[in-house]
Chain A
Amino acid sequence: MICLSKNEQGAELLAGYLSRTLDAPRMAELGRHIQECADCRGLASVWERLDEFAVPEVSPGFDARLYARIASEEARVSLLSCRRWLWRPIAPLAAAAAVVALVLGFLHVPGTPHSAKQASKVEIEQVAQAVDDLDLLTPIDR
């Protein structure tokens, strides 16, 4: 018999042997081979070594914690759907208001050439106003 540990098909058979899922004749044949073959015994011993990796018990509060998380998530989801339901009648109005706000916002966005021109105009007017005021005051000083 060709050594099982030398190829993948052999390793698959060996895994089948170790997990005892093969039929009886195959189990007996592989058992004899493993007795004689050091490589296969090495691979077989890995399977047995892995049995030593014990695991702790699941914490007693595991289910309670999970159900609490589920309940909290359910509450959040129902709150969201409630909000959505409340928003539904005024959603078209809100959308229209948003569009209007956007258009107005676009018209008055600082930094655009149009608004810069307007800012400049305001500045000139303010200066002019100030100058006018000064002009008004000047004759008094004199």
Chain B
Amino acid sequence: MEAIVALERDAQLMLNVREGDDTSFGFLLERHRGPVVHFLYRMVQNQAVSEELAQEVFLRVYRSRETYEPTAKFTTWLFRIATHVALNSIRDRKKEKGHESLDESSDEMLGGLERQVADRQLTIEQEMVRDVKLREVRQAIEALPAKQRAAVLMHKYEGLDYAQIAKVLSCSESAIKSLLFRAYETLRDRLAHMA
């Protein structure tokens, strides 16, 4: 029921934007800015790049306002755009630099960002342990094939169901289940030593 209400609300807001109501675009931005930026951050693992890509996503949403039709859930449409933008960016970065485990800028940021989200009450030792664990999780996710990575991030962090992820990635639901199963198995193997 909550999902239906959310669908109606977001879709209605987008229809309002189509009619020229820019305030509704502000509401949509307020509701989805965080999830989109966070999804992109986990995809590309660089804050500046993720925010730049998120801007591109919302710009595309705004550009599409005149042709928007609520044929699918708004979040499915939104994450379809975000995933498309992220996969393109990953492909372009691979072409530019060759495959890297973590680029320099994200490595530089790692310490700062981890501390930014850190619990200030942790001791230095606890903080170091947590940083190492976080680094391993990031690397394990980054090592997944881009499509698996997108599926895991949408499933785990953004709460999209199998049907939605399937629509975002243009696959069948059964293909998504199998994709996620393989991805979680890979992650289990890579993170086994941390358990």
Name A residues whose Cβ lies closer than 8 Å to a Cβ of B: 5, 8-9, 11-12, 15, 19, 41-43, 45-47, 49-50, 52-59, 62-63, 65-66, 69-70, 73
Contacts and interface: CB of A to CB of B under 8 A. Distances in A.
B120 to A, nearest CB: 14
B191 A46 contact: yes
A42 B116 contact: no
Contacts, number: 95
Interface residues of B, number: 43
Interface stretch (B54-62, B76-84, B92-100): B54-62
Nearest to A53: B137
Instruction: Determine the main DSSP class of A at the interface with B.
Output: helix
Contacts of A58: 33-34, 37, 51, 54
B181 A11 contact: yes
A59 B62 CA distance: 20
Given A8-B178, A58-B37, A70 B134 contact: no
B181 A8 contact: yes
B34 A54 contact: no
A53 B184 contact: no
A70 B25 CA distance: 11
Given A15-B155, A70-B62, A50 B34 contact: no
Given A52-B130, A55-B42, 10 more contacts: A45-B188, A45-B194, A45-B195, A47-B156, A54-B134, A56-B47, A57-B116, A58-B54, A62-B55, A66-B58
B180 to A, nearest CB: 7
B72 interface: no
Contacts of B137: 49-50, 52-53
Contact of A42 (B62, B63, B162, B188): B188
B41 A42 contact: no
Contacts of A52: 130, 133-134, 137
A58 B39 CA distance: 12
Contacts of A59: 47, 51
